């Protein structure tokens, strides 16, 4: 968004990310990627809440205001990154995060379903443990 990295360089990073994720999944690792999307209106409410609540002010930065002005540019950048790094072996899950309960429920459901599909089992115990008596 702020052109800190040349387009050619960040574009090639997508390929490296995809290659790395493919290497991980080829070795048996399951990848879950979540993009937590909040609306511009919700972001404004959260920023205001941080200013209003002294316990949350640590979360606020004046830079948030200048970055907020680039909202549309960030949406284009996010969309590009999500599209370029959305693969069958490591798909993105785009989560509406305006309501935290909904965000948490959605992510929990995806994690649970993934674990059920993986059907993990405890590793076998060492031989001879049944004969051990602790005193």
CA–CA dist 123, 17 (Å, integer): 31
DSSP 25-43: HHTT----EEEEE--HHHH
Q: What is the mean pLDDT of residues 54-83?
A: 96
Q: What is the mean pLDDT of residues 53-68?
A: 96
| Domain limits, the chain | 7-116
Q: Report the predicted TM-score, pTM, of the whole model to 2 decimal places.
A: 0.85
Q: What is the mean pLDDT of residues 112-134?
A: 95
Residue 1 confidence (pLDDT): 86
Residue 108 confidence (pLDDT): 99
Query: Where does 7-116 sit in CATH, by number?
Result: 3.40.50.300
**Residue 96 scores a pLDDT above 90:** yes
Q: Quickly state the pLDDT bin for 3 (edges 50, 70, 90).
A: confident
**Those residues with Cβ within 8 angstroms of residue 68's Cβ, 6 or more apart along the chain or in another chain:** 43, 44, 47
**DSSP single-letter state for residue 2:** -
Q: What is the mean pLDDT of residues 65-79?
A: 95
């Amino acid at each position: 968004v702020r052109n800190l990295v040349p387009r050619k360089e960040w574009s090639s990073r997508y390929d490296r990310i995809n290659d790395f994720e493919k290497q991980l999944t080829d070795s048996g690792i399951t990848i879950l990627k979540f993009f937590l999307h909040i609306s511009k209106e919700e972001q404004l409410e959260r920023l205001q809440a941080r200013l209003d609540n002294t316990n949350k002010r640590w979360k606020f930065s004046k830079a948030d205001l200048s970055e907020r002005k680039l909202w549309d540019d960030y949406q284009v950048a996010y969309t590009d990154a999500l599209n370029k790094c959305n693969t069958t072996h490591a798909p993105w899950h785009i989560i509406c995060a305006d309501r935290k309960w909904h965000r948490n429920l959605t992510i929990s459901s995806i994690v649970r379903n993934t674990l059920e599909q993986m059907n993990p089992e405890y590793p076998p115990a060492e031989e001879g443990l049944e004969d051990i008596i602790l005193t």
